[in-house]
Amino acid sequence: MPVTDRTRVTRLADRQVVDRQVLHDVLDAGLVAHVAVVRDGVPIVLPVGYARDGESVLLHGSTGGGLLRAAASGVPVAVTVTLLDGLVYARSLFDSSMNYRSVMVLGTAVAVPDALKEEALRRLSEHLMPGRWDEVRPPTRRELAATVVLRVPLDEVSVKVRATGASTEPDDGEDRAVWAGVVPLTLATLEPVASADAPRGVPVPASVAAAASRFEALRPELHA
Amino acid sequence: MPVTDRTRVTRLADRQVVDRQVLHDVLDAGLVAHVAVVRDGVPIVLPVGYARDGESVLLHGSTGGGLLRAAASGVPVAVTVTLLDGLVYARSLFDSSMNYRSVMVLGTAVAVPDALKEEALRRLSEHLMPGRWDEVRPPTRRELAATVVLRVPLDEVSVKVRATGASTEPDDGEDRAVWAGVVPLTLATLEPVASADAPRGVPVPASVAAAASRFEALRPELHA
């Protein structure tokens, strides 16, 4: 995975990852990207639901949204996905940290053409709510027209990972009797809440039942 | 809370919130902000640990980091905090959505002066790891010098919240026998992992023990 001047990590360079599988894994584990564009010289950054599709990310939203409309015009975009994996309690505040996996994609977005939009939305749906596509009716023509899907290629990317315990500075006066370690963090599901208008006796579908175990499977290993 | 041309929500305007208490609550519930700056005409956006301090947010990082160094130079920044609260399973994919609370702060950052840096770091520490400050030694002069803390005022902000169930389009062919509802999402802690060099018998401190219940208290109510 090539590192450019724009994607080179200058601070804590050992956290930079150039393994394409890690890039894919991080993108496949997240749900929301923070997408930035420049408008009138000022950056704006907002959360957008996304999915990885091969060697690109798909972003989707309403045709009425300002951010994606700006992104669709071919201006440079940054797409960042961050997974927060833990709070690192070192014996000093200076060495305290967070464990995380983060990907930043730089580039320009292109609109997915109408003929391919349903396929792209299916890919988004299968990422965000696996199995749901086949449980509900297909999108209507009107719904497709009201939805914008953008594709940003994974050409220029930066991947950073911190997945270790608390670092120790042997000569820096830390008190060994102070506990040090990691509090792992994870996204978790709570019990599903059925809509008030759901008819009695409609069971929770497979897609919803699967959501909880999905996040469990995505928890990273803590490295020594 | 004033709405400017840059912070007005154009799409789904009913999700825009102008209650300052909600702004504070969202910022107080998050750990990581996505901070965007423009570099050579291109947006970059990276995760940064932050804390709210009254009517501003504090960002902190190493003096060696490129993003905060750029932000400290007085260029426009965007600071976005997003809390992902649920997956919304509607009876169509078009109406399926996510519940979230999101804040975007626009403005410029100013470096916290050296004389106030320790106080600002204490504020950050108390937000990110409540109680930890008093369990470990204070920062050294060298550590303070290697840390940059920026302050961004909460002058121009946009707050969006979706906290409801699945919306229903009565005339749009949805099958009422399909389950609809919300799978709530939350950040959760797993069991703390002590460092390998922790002496035997050192108990998990109060700050670490409190981390789990903290996230439980931050879960939002689902509105009808």
3-state SS string for A6-30: CCCCCCCHHHEECCHHHHHHHHHHC
Which of A93, A189, A211 is nearest residue B125 as measured by Cβ atoms? A93
Least CA distance to B65: which residue of chain A? A11
The candidate with the shortest Cα–Cα distance to B183, out of B88, B97, B113, is B88
H/E segment holding residue B55: none
Dist CA B126 CA A18 (whole Å): 34
Which residues pair with residue A156 across a beta bridge?
A106
Q: What pLDDT does residue A2 have?
A: 73
Q: What pLDDT does residue A202 have?
A: 85
Chain A residues close to B37, C-beta within 8 Å: 43
Dist CA A179 CA A91 (whole Å): 7
In this structure, how many other beta carbons lie within 10 angstroms of the beta carbon of residue B63?
A: 12
H/E segment holding residue B61: strand B56-62
Domain span including residue B115:
13-217
Decide if A218 contacts A130 (C-beta within 8 A). Answer: no
Q: What pLDDT does residue A149 have?
A: 96
Q: Within a domain: residue B30? A: yes
Question: pLDDT digit string (tens) for A42-88?
Answer: 999 999 999 999 999 999 988 777 899 999 999 999 999 999 999 99
Main-chain dihedrals φ then ψ at residue B130, nearest 5 degrees: -55, 135
> Given an 8 Å threshold on Cβ–Cβ distance, is A179 in contact with B188?
no
CA distance, residue A48 to nearest chain B CA (Å)? 10
Q: Within a domain: residue A26? A: yes
- CATH number at B116 reads 2.30.110.10
pLDDT at A113 over 90: yes
Q: What is the amino acid identity at position B95?
A: D
Dist CA B27 CA B104 (whole Å): 10
Average pLDDT of the residues of chain A:
89
Q: Which residues contact B120 (CB under 8 A, 6 or more apart)?
A: B53, B58, B60, B112, B149, B151
> Given an 8 Å threshold on Cβ–Cβ distance, is A176 in contact with B185?
no
Q: What pLDDT does residue A180 have?
A: 93
Provide the 8-state DSSP code for A213: H
> Given an 8 Å threshold on Cβ–Cβ distance, is A11 in contact with B93?
no
Decide if A183 contacts A154 (C-beta within 8 A). Answer: no
Q: What pLDDT does residue B3 have?
A: 77
pLDDT at A224 over 60: no
CA distance, residue A96 to nearest chain B CA (Å)? 9
Q: Within a domain: residue A46? A: yes
Q: Which residues of chain B fall below pLDDT 70?
A: 10-13, 169-172, 217-220, 222-224
Dist CA B7 CA A44 (whole Å): 10
Top residue of A94, A106, A221 to mutate, by most chain B CBs within 10 Å, is A94
Q: Which tokens is B168 given?
A: 């229903």
Which of B176, B204, B211 is nearest residue A179 as measured by Cβ atoms? B204
Least CA distance to A8: which residue of chain B? B66
Q: What percentage of chain A exceeds 90 in pLDDT?
A: 67
Decide if B33 contacts B25 (C-beta within 8 A). Answer: no
CA distance, residue B109 to nearest chain A CA (Å)? 13
Q: Within a domain: residue A117? A: yes
Dist CA A17 CA A164 (whole Å): 14
CA distance, residue B220 to nearest chain A CA (Å)? 12
Q: What ranges make up the beta strands (E) of chain A? A: 16-17, 32-39, 42-53, 56-62, 76-89, 97-108, 110-111, 147-153, 156-162, 181-189, 193-194
Stated pTM of the model: 0.93
**What average pLDDT does this structure show over A22-31?**
95
Q: Within a domain: residue A137? A: yes
CA distance, residue B182 to nearest chain A CA (Å)? 5
Q: What is the amino acid identity at position B213?
A: S
pLDDT at A219 over 90: no
Q: What pLDDT does residue A170 have?
A: 66
Indicate the range of A5-9, A103-107, A170-174, B147-151 predicted with least confidence. Answer: A170-174
Q: Which tokens is B188 given?
A: 């959760």
Least CA distance to A172: which residue of chain B? B140
pLDDT at A145 over 90: yes
Q: Which residues contact B59 (CB under 8 A, 6 or more apart)?
A: B33, B35, B48, B49, B50, B68, B71, B79, B109, B149, B150, B151, B152
Q: Within a domain: residue B178? A: yes
**What average pLDDT does this structure show over A168-193?**
84
Which of A44, A143, A174 is nearest residue B104 as measured by Cβ atoms? A44
Q: Within a domain: residue A8? A: no
Region class of B14: left (phi > 0), else alpha (psi between -120 and 50), else beta: alpha
In this structure, how many other beta carbons lie within 10 angstroms of the beta carbon of residue B74?
A: 11
Q: Within a domain: residue A2? A: no
Which of A46, A49, A92 is nearest residue B136 as measured by Cβ atoms? A92
> Given an 8 Å threshold on Cβ–Cβ distance, is B188 in contact with A191?
no
How many domains are there within chain B?
1
Which of B11, B80, B89 is nearest residue A62 as measured by Cβ atoms? B11
Dist CA A58 CA B23 (whole Å): 30
> Given an 8 Å threshold on Cβ–Cβ distance, is B194 in contact with A180?
yes
Q: What pLDDT does residue A48 have?
A: 96
Question: pLDDT digit string (tens) for A152-169?
Answer: 999 999 999 999 888 776
* ipTM of the prediction: 0.92
CA distance, residue A94 to nearest chain B CA (Å)? 6
Which residues pair with residue B106 across a beta bridge?
B78, B156
pLDDT at A181 over 90: yes
> Given an 8 Å threshold on Cβ–Cβ distance, is B195 in contact with A168?
yes
Which of B6, B168, B177 is nearest residue A42 as measured by Cβ atoms? B6
